[in-house]
Chain A
């Protein structure tokens, strides 16, 4: 039983990991990066 749960946890997680990253996220990051301009948001 324990093995089934562990295997299923891995499979459930891995199934999503293998999906292609939706374009909406890369576009969002591009927009955020563009709106940030030349400044660096990192404090440290």
Chain B
């Protein structure tokens, strides 16, 4: 029973990361928790395929990812609609108040294709290496790198921000500053 106790502890420790990954994939907290539950059940049922001493998190992430894509294929249309509605609901133009918050970012993230979203979250959020992510996503390291690059560029486009300057003062402050700047340029 000691082995099961240890395994249960290991799985419990992995749950927060699994939930974060699941949420980034499907963008819906309830569905994310269903994915995590499915992952835990599949992991427990397939323990014989886990090589002790290897990366348990990576193994669990792989199971979760497979479960997500299996579900995604089944409900493709529904998910696309849901994503579109969700993005539309959450998206607020940063220009309205001159800054973006986490909700804006999450909405933008959900507009990326899942294949780009997952690598971005695994690399940028969980801090995994390109090699670990390539193993989880069953693709080449170069593919992961190009997906991350495309994802970052696409996010920048979605957020309609091309430089750090645009995170500066809001429209009112900018309008106040502009005449001053213009007049300071006048000889």
**Contact call A41/B44, Cβ cutoff below 8 A:** yes
B40 to chain A, nearest CB (A): 6
How many residues on chain A are close to B (CB under 8 Å)? 35
Q: Mark A32-44, 1 if CB is under 8 A from B, else 0.
A: 1100101011111
Distance between Cα atoms of A32 and B11 in the complex (Å): 12
Which B residues, 105 to 125, have Cβ-Cβ distances below 8 Å to chain A?
105-106, 109, 120-121, 124-125
Is B15 touching A28 in the complex (CB atoms < 8 A)? no
Chain B residues within an 8 Å CB radius of A25: 12, 15, 36-37, 40
Chain B binding surface, main DSSP class = helix
Q: Range of interface residues on chain B?
A: 35 or more
B145-167 with Cβ < 8 A to chain A:
152, 155-156, 159, 161-164, 167
Partner of A17, one of B20, B37, B48, B155: B20
Most buried by B among A19, A29, A43: A29
Please give the residue numbers on chain B whose beta carbons come within 8 Å of chain A beta carbons, in ascending order: 1, 3-5, 7-8, 11-12, 15-17, 19-20, 23-24, 33, 36-37, 40-41, 44, 47-52, 100, 102, 105-106, 109, 120-121, 124-126, 152, 155-156, 159, 161-164, 167
Binding site for B on A (CB under 8 A): 1-6, 8-19, 21-22, 24-26, 28-30, 32-33, 36, 38, 40-44
